[in-house]
Amino acid sequence: MAGICLTMDVGGSSIKYALIDADRNLTEHGKVPTPLRSRSAHLDALAGIYQQFRGRVEGIALSYPGIIDSEAGLCKTTGALELGLDFPLVQELEARCGVPVTVMNDAKAAALAEASWGALADCADGIVIVLGTGIGGALIQDGKVRMGRHFSAGEFSTICMDAHVESSDHTWCGLNGSSRLIATAACAKGVDPASINGEDVFRWVNEGDPAVCMALDQFTATLARMIRNLQLIFDPERIAIGGGISQQPRLMESLRKNLDYHQRMAAGYGMPEAQVVTCKYFNDANLIGAYAYYVQRRG
């Protein structure tokens, strides 16, 4: 059984961290700004967090954006971090810190948390969809996160949604990323999208603003259509929705209404319907999933 581990969730703006024990208790949460572009500064930031806990933890578990070869500890890409291709993160950080390090793609880490102990723990086959700036995701097959031949299975963000490919507006991320919901709601209210956030959107929804409620319905209609497509392709038992906005009851209420519509329209074909639920771990999913992968690798 693994002992206390330092787990870090590296994002485009900040590195969140916490200690986690064998009972999955998270303590000593913190965060620091994420250094971008410079690998040396980036590694300094990660090693600096470790130095706070040197001698108290047995290893480091990382959740990371981009296409990650977890077995080799290699970041094939690093997304918004702009750290270049084929970044040997695990090798470099182990050399600096002198303890075992593991790394896993952030969405796959969230999915592993749900498959190990969360909303998909009793499912052989499932899907996790993480709604954020992009569309994170992962496929669970026979209880394991499917990596894919090139480590990019479940990279849902750039799925093309129509014949146009010249901008992200025509990708799934462009239609169901959080910025699209905010922009649509801002248009409905006649305000600058930069002046509002997701909390404002759902405050208006909860107040019953008809134009913003319609914007939410349009947003979840697209999401429901893509869930239906994934259901037909993969045939999972359960699909778990994560990300900050998945904690909003009105989002799931609107999504289920649109899913029911698709199921009624396809009733004559006798197609199965997956159960759609919210994730269990929400904002801690990446930290817990990174730890789950560390346990798998290190025992």
Kindly give, in sequence order, each residue whose CB lies less than 8 Å from that of residue 61, ignoring residues fewer than 6 positions away.
5, 6, 7, 8, 20, 101, 102, 104, 290, 291, 293, 294
Please name the CATH architecture into which domain 5-109+284-298 falls.
2-Layer Sandwich (3.30)
In this prediction the pTM is 0.89
Which residues on neighbouring strands pair with residue 55, listed in sequence order? none
Residue at token pair 């199921």? 263
Asked if 5-109+284-298 and 122-279 have one fold, the answer is yes
Element (H, E) at 28: strand 26-33
pLDDT in tens, the chain (299 residues): 468 999 999 988 899 999 999 999 999 999 999 998 899 999 999 999 999 999 999 999 999 998 999 999 999 998 778 888 999 999 999 999 999 999 999 999 999 999 999 999 999 999 999 998 888 889 999 999 998 888 888 888 888 888 777 777 788 888 888 889 999 999 999 999 999 999 999 999 999 999 999 999 999 999 999 999 999 899 999 999 998 889 999 999 999 999 998 888 877 777 777 799 999 998 899 999 999 999 998 86
Listed by start position, the domains of the chain span: 5-109+284-298, 122-279
CATH topology for 122-279 is Nucleotidyltransferase; domain 5 (3.30.420)
Helix ranges, the chain (H):
39-53, 89-97, 106-117, 172-176, 178-189, 198-206, 210-234, 249-265, 285-298
